[in-house]
């Protein structure tokens, strides 16, 4: 089998029915029960019992690239460095490497470019004609401590500026205080403000206290209409872990079984190595199936990850690790 067939990059992703949300079922929220020891064992053994090598590994790494939300959320971001990031998003792997692997004819590009609100116009212009959506962080990212009215206005302004995806942050206090109706109303308001833009709901899992809280917040967010649920802002002391991922993906699976709607998943924060990206893809395949290894239902929020993946692809071809200067990031 060729690497092209193993990769399976779709020229045009299939149409996907968005999650419209449901009425709030507090019974399902309260039913959430997490066996922490079992979650830890499963997370520890998952990546030791499953591995991919040689051409298969190259194919999976290329798949991982297509699922990256290439992100810059720094205080010194400028239109020029966002333009450079967008150029990398369009051509994430050197053309000579793609040709040597045998996939030069495939549309290998990242899943989205994620920026702050004020840099949306620069990203939209730089990505014009590429088919790569612009995602914007919103709702007082990362702390979400501003008033709901301002959060909603921020979403609307980002959509008007051209963002096709909005990454919102929930009010952690609603989770910590068990205010599930308030959380539901907040996320539902975010969904309405997004209009046709896809809503990615950041739970900030490292700040929710318990795995049960992570599960409950996941369930409420999906019932309120989240298109994706996302682990972290990347700014917390604890960000994406496989334990959080297991809890959230199993809630996604249960929500699909209950409603028929598929919700996407996005880990973010601390995912910097090709091996880490493969671990997350293995988790998605094992827990949710192959549909959740494509960008329509799976994203990885990252910035430095792409450099290591490109180095691993170079190693696959040459048997040597190239210096980072051969795989520059903006």
> What's the pLDDT at 1?
36
Q: Which among 230, 251, 279, 308 is annotated as catalytic?
A: 230
Phi and psi, residue 228, nearest 5°: -135, 150
54 annotated active-site? no
Q: Rounded to 5 degrees, what angle do the CA atoms 257, 260, 264 make? A: 90
Q: Which among 167, 227, 279, 308 is annotated as catalytic?
A: 167
Domain ranges of the chain: 20-317
Q: Which among 109, 151, 266, 279 is annotated as catalytic?
A: 266
Task: Evaluate whether 122 touches 82 at the Cβ level (below 8 Å).
Answer: yes
Average pLDDT for the chain: 93
Phi and psi, residue 53, nearest 5°: -130, 160
Task: Evaluate whether 135 touches 172 at the Cβ level (below 8 Å).
Answer: no
- What's the full length of the chain, in residues? 330
**Surface-to-core class of residue 28, CB atoms within 10 Å of its CB (0-12 exposed, 13-18 middle, 19+ buried):** middle
Tokens of 212: 């049960």
> What's the pLDDT at 9?
47
Pick from 154, 114, 157: nearest CA to 132: 114
> What's the pLDDT at 17?
92
C-alpha neighbours within 13 Å on the C-beta side of residue 54:
2
Task: Evaluate whether 311 touches 322 at the Cβ level (below 8 Å).
Answer: yes
- Read off the pLDDT of residues 49-99 as tens digits, 9 standing for 90 and up: 777 888 999 999 999 999 999 999 999 999 999 999 999 999 999 999 999
> What's the pLDDT at 326?
65
Collect contacts of 36-42 with beta carbons under 8 A, ≥24 apart.
36/211, 39/211, 39/243, 39/246, 39/247, 40/243, 42/246
- Read off the pLDDT of residues 208-240 as tens digits, 9 standing for 90 and up: 999 999 999 999 999 999 999 999 999 999 999
Tokens of 305: 């990850």
CA torsion sign, 82 to 200 to 149 to 155?
positive
CATH topology for 20-317? TIM Barrel (3.20.20)
d(C-alpha 61, C-alpha 278), whole Å: 7
167 annotated active-site? yes
Task: Evaluate whether 86 touches 105 at the Cβ level (below 8 Å).
Answer: no
230 annotated active-site? yes
Task: Evaluate whether 248 touches 22 at the Cβ level (below 8 Å).
Answer: no
pTM above 0.85, yes or no: yes
| 51 to 15, 34, 46, 56, 275: CA distances (angstroms) | 30, 27, 9, 10, 10
- Read off the pLDDT of residues 255-290 as tens digits, 9 standing for 90 and up: 999 999 999 999 999 999 999 999 999 999 999 999
């Amino acid at each position: 089998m060729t690497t092209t067939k193993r990769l399976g990059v779709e020229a045009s992703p299939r149409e996907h029915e968005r999650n419209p949300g449901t009425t709030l079922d507090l019974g399902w929220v309260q039913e959430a029960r997490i066996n922490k020891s079992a979650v830890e064992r499963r997370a520890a053994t998952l990546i030791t019992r499953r591995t991919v090598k040689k051409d298969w590994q190259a194919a999976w790494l290329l798949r991982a690239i297509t699922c990256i939300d290439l992100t810059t959320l720094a205080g010194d971001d400028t239109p020029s460095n966002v333009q450079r990031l967008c150029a990398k998003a369009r051509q994430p792997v050197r053309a000579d490497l793609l040709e040597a692997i045998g996939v030069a004819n495939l549309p290998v590009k990242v899943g989205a470019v994620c920026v702050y609100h004020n840099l949306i116009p620069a990203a939209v212009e730089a990505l014009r004609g590429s088919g790569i959506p612009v995602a914007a962080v919103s709702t007082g990212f990362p702390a979400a401590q501003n008033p709901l009215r301002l959060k909603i206005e921020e979403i609307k302004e980002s959509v008007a500026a051209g963002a096709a995806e909005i990454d919102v942050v929930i009010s952690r206090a609603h989770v910590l205080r068990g205010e599930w109706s308030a959380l539901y109303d907040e996320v539902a308001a975010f969904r309405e403000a997004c209009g046709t833009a896809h809503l990615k709901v950041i739970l900030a899992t490292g700040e929710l206290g318990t795995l049960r809280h992570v599960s409950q917040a996941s369930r409420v967010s999906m019932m309120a209409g989240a298109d994706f649920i996302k682990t972290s802002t990347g700014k917390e002391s604890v960000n994406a872990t496989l334990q959080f991922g297991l809890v959230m993906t199993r809630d996604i699976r249960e929500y699909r079984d209950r409603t028929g709607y598929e919700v996407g998943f996005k880990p973010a924060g601390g995912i910097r190595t090709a091996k880490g990206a493969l671990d997350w893809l293995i988790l998605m395949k094992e827990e949710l199936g192959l549909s959740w290894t494509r960008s329509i239902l799976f994203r990885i929020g990252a910035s430095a990850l792409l450099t290591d993946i490109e180095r691993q692809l170079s190693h696959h071809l040459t048997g040597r690790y190239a210096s980072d200067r051969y795989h520059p990031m903006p």
